Each structure stands twice: as structure tokens, then as C-alpha cells.
Amino acid sequence: MLQRDITGFDTVVRLADRVSSIDRYDLLLGLIPTAFAAAFLAGRVFGLPLEATLLGGVAVASLALFDGLFFRPPTGLQGA
């Protein structure tokens, strides 16, 4: 992703290059910790017990996990 020249690394990388390399499974993997963080914040805001917030985070994360593994699994090499 980084362009290398004689002097070293060129740190100027186009944002479009990074965004175009993100696929569906990257988003699903990012959804798992995001679900727990959102559940934790909702629990703090609404004063819910920790067990309820963890259960909410597990519910959303497990939906993402089951979708990526069982409902629509990867069928082979993508983009190779």
C-alpha cells in the first residue's frame, strides 16, 4: 500500500486505495468489538446492569459471526 522510493517510504497514500480494499468480512470483523462498545455505552447512559449490556453485545456480535460463517460464508479467494 505504501509507495517506496529511493529515499524511503512515501507516507502519502490515497484514501481511496485504503477504502477500496475493505470488503464485507472486514466490516463484519469490525462490527464485533463495535457491538460490545455500543452496548457498554448504552448501558452506561441508560443505567443498565452489566449482564444486560453484555447480552446485547453478544447478540449483535453473534449475528455478525453467524452471518459471516454460516449464512453467507466466503466461497473462495476474493480479489486474487
CA distance 45 to 40: 9
Instruction: List pLDDT tens digits, range 26-70.
Output: 999 999 999 999 999 999 999 999 999 999 999 999 999 999 999
Instruction: List pLDDT tens digits, range 4-26.
Output: 555 555 555 666 666 677 888 89
SS3 of residue 76 by DSSP: coil
